[in-house]
Amino acid sequence: MNVLIAIDSFKGSLSARKLVSAIEEGITNVYEDANITKTPIADGGEGTIDSLIEGLRGQLIYKTVKGPLFEDVNAYYGILPDQKTAILEMAISSGLPLVEPAKRDPRNTTTYGVGELIIDALNKGISEFIVGIGGSATNDGGIGMLHALGYKFLDKNHQEMKPIGKSLQFIEHIDTSSVDPRLKDTTFLVACDVDNPLCGLRGASHTYGPQKGATKEIVEELDQGLLHFSNIVKNTLGIDKAHLSGAGAAGGLGYGFAAFLHGELKPGIDIVFEKLSFEQQLENIDIIITGEGQIDFQSVMGKALAGVARSAKIKNIPVIALGGSVTQEAYQMHDLGITSIFSIINHPITLEDAMKEDTARDFVKHNIEELFRLIKAIKK
């Protein structure tokens, strides 16, 4: 029995690595001699570093940087074995969970810590970056990150502005004289799974601002700030990226990468699969186990599970998907290549209890064991 475990994290409950371990235990309780290939996956958001570092045997680098509200946070990034490629997740330094609910206001948050991680990696000889930009607490158009990299954003009196969302509407000048020169020879591949432009009703502020603590009035203020900023960039630097698909990701960080750092925005799952040589891992596989915390309409629309399903369907490999929650829309994934979908929840339980690590791990292990008992009985 050749099994590929290619699973995303159950966010807030189990990391992809711990899920892989639980699934492996469940399988080997039935098939002691099973040949198991373990590939934690991610779609560019949470878990991307762990997925690529474990899959490619890289190393983690730890660094204290400024968080969304300029407080010190313990962050990290990964370096691949080629010693020239770094993997970053912006949420580790600038993510929404780092801001207490009572303090959430995207006018006041910054992506400065992302830039600090980039500088640290540049100091270690890195020249290629893969950056996941999901889960932000910010709406600063990337000026926090860019400030850390040497860009200066000035008001009409040429006074330097604090690199936060509410400063965007007052920026009139951009000083590039102190920008780190190493950036000219550096590439940025940005994992971006949304197609929002920078401004407007589908832009960063209107679409994602409310979940970051913005009221209707704050949303309008931030949207106008991003529009003003993009016009300043267009008029002073000759760069027009505000309408780029994905420019509105992470509060405009997608725009910051594209406009200032020539970043290429690409679906996260495509980046991860390419780096992991996922297609090659499917050779001689009998069955694939995949899943994520909630399997729903977003899963159908191109996240990690859909990527696994598409690849498996081409090679006619059966796929079992596990989720904590499985919505009605999830069953559309049968058409994409998922053979069967199961919730791991076996009895009535509160969400809080279900998401406890030990509980979720037991659910996963026991469900996998039962599934493989069935598979073994059928094969006899």
Cβ neighbours, 10 Å, residue 159: 10
Strands 173-175 and 128-132: unpaired
Residues 79-120: pLDDT tens digits? Answer: 999 999 999 999 999 999 999 999 999 999 999 999 999 999
10 Å CB burial of residue 102 (0-12, 13-18, 19+) is exposed
Residues 205-222: pLDDT tens digits? Answer: 999 999 999 999 999 999
**What is the C-alpha separation between 335 and 301, in angstroms, rounded?**
12
Cβ neighbours, 10 Å, residue 178: 10
**What is the C-alpha separation between 169 and 220, in angstroms, rounded?**
11
Summarize the confidence of residues 271-299 as an average pLDDT. Answer: 88
Position 140 pLDDT exceeds 80: yes
In this predicted structure, what is the pLDDT of residue 97?
92
Confidence of residue 302 (pLDDT cuts 50, 70, 90): low
Tokens of 107: 């006018």
In this predicted structure, what is the pLDDT of residue 195?
87
In this predicted structure, what is the pLDDT of residue 297?
73
Above pLDDT 70, what percent of the chain? 98
**What is the C-alpha separation between 118 and 144, in angstroms, rounded?**
12
In this predicted structure, what is the pLDDT of residue 313?
94
Position 301 pLDDT exceeds 70: no
Q: What pTM, to 2 d.p., does this model score?
A: 0.83
Q: How far is CA 139 from the centre of its chain?
A: 17
DSSP-assigned letter for residue 193? -
**What is the C-alpha separation between 98 and 69, in angstroms, rounded?**
9
Domains in the chain (CATH in brackets) are: 2-40+278-379 (3.40.50.10350), 48-266 (3.90.1510.10)
Of 83, 93, 158, 92, nearest in space to 121 by CA: 83
